[in-house]
Amino acid sequence: MTAMPAGLRVLAVDDVPLALEELCRLLEEAPEVAEVVAAGDPISALRSIQADRFDAVFLDISMPGLDGIELASLLAKLSEPPVIVFVTAHEGHAVTAYGIGAIDYLLKPVRADRLSTALAKVVRMAAAGGPPTAPSPLPDALAALPVETAGRTRYVRRDDVQFVEANGDYVRLHTPAGTHMVRMPISRLEEYWAGHGFTRVHRGYLVALSAIRELRSDTVGGLLAHTDLGDVPVSRRHSRELRERLLQAARRGELGPTGAG
C-alpha cells in the first residue's frame, strides 16, 4: 500500500487470528491509514513499539498474560505514547479504558463507520501533538503477574518466584508464600522472563538462576536443580546450557547465597 503524506502508521493487536486479519483489512481500507502492522500477542506488540514508531495502537483487551488494559497502561508511561483505541467484544471495560487515556472504544464486530469516527479522533490527536518521536524504553512488562483468587486480583512479583511449572494452559508459580496459578502457556512466560534471570530447564519448568542452591543427581542419573522450595528436573538437552548460565551468573555475582554446585 502506498503511504500517504499525512497517513497514519497503525499497530493492530489481537490474539485471535481471524479478528486480527479483519481489523487489519478494515484499517488498510481506511483513507486515513498509510500502513498497518499486525501483532498477534502482547510481547510482539511491545517489540514492535520498541523498534518503531506508531501514531496509534488498536488494541484488543482480552489476551492471555498481559491484557490490553495492562499493555495500554505501559504505553501511557512513554514520553510520546501512541494514541490508544480499544477493540473488544465486551463493554464492561469502557470506564477503565477511558480512565487510562484511550480515545475510543470499538465493539466487535467493528463497523466501518465507527472505525472512521475513531480514526478521525486519532488524526486530530496526532495533529495536535505533532508526529510521535522515537519511544523511550518501555517499563518492565511483567515484573508482576495478576492472579485471580476468589474474585479478587492480587499480584505476584517475579522476584518472589523461584520456579515455574507448566500445568496445561496454566503455569504454577512457586514462591515462598505459596503457589499461584496463572493462565498462560509456559512458552509465553519464558519469552517475557528470559531476560530477567529465568531459564528453561525442562519442557515443563522454568527456574530462576538466583534460586538454585546446587545441582544434584537423581536416582536414575538425571539432573535436578535444587531450590529452597524443592527440586526442579533438568532435561538432558538443557543441562549444558544451565551449567553455562550458572557459571556466567556466578561470575556476575547474581546467584543466591550458596550458589550452585
**CATH, residue 27:** 3.40.50.2300
Q: How many domains does the chain have?
A: 2
Task: Say if 2 falls within a structural domain.
Answer: no
Task: Provide the pLDDT confidence category of residue 26 given band limits of 50, 70 and 90.
Answer: very high
Tell how strand 33-39 and strand 8-13 pair up: parallel
Residue 160 has pLDDT above 90, yes or no: yes
Task: Say if 30 falls within a structural domain.
Answer: yes
What pLDDT, on a 0 to 100 scale, did the predictor assign at position 5? Answer: 42
Among 85-94, 100-109, 160-169, 227-236, the range scoring the smallest mean pLDDT is: 85-94
What pLDDT, on a 0 to 100 scale, did the predictor assign at position 259? Answer: 44
What pLDDT, on a 0 to 100 scale, did the predictor assign at position 49? Answer: 86
What pLDDT, on a 0 to 100 scale, did the predictor assign at position 130? Answer: 43
Task: Please state whether the predicted TM-score (pTM) of the whole model is above 0.75.
Answer: no
Task: Say if 111 falls within a structural domain.
Answer: yes
Task: Name the one residue in this structure whose C-alpha cell is 513499539.
Answer: 49
Burial class (CB in 10 A: 0-12, 13-18, 19+), 242: buried
Residues 242/234, Cβ–Cβ less than 8 Å: yes
What pLDDT, on a 0 to 100 scale, did the predictor assign at position 36? Answer: 96
HSE-up (13 A, CA, CB side) for residue 22: 13
For residue range 199-235, list pLDDT tens digits in order. Answer: 999 999 999 999 999 999 887 878 999 999 999 999 9
Do 159 and 123 sit in the same domain of this protein?
no
Instruction: Enter the DSSP assignment of 53.
Output: -
- Full domain range(s) for residue 84: 8-129
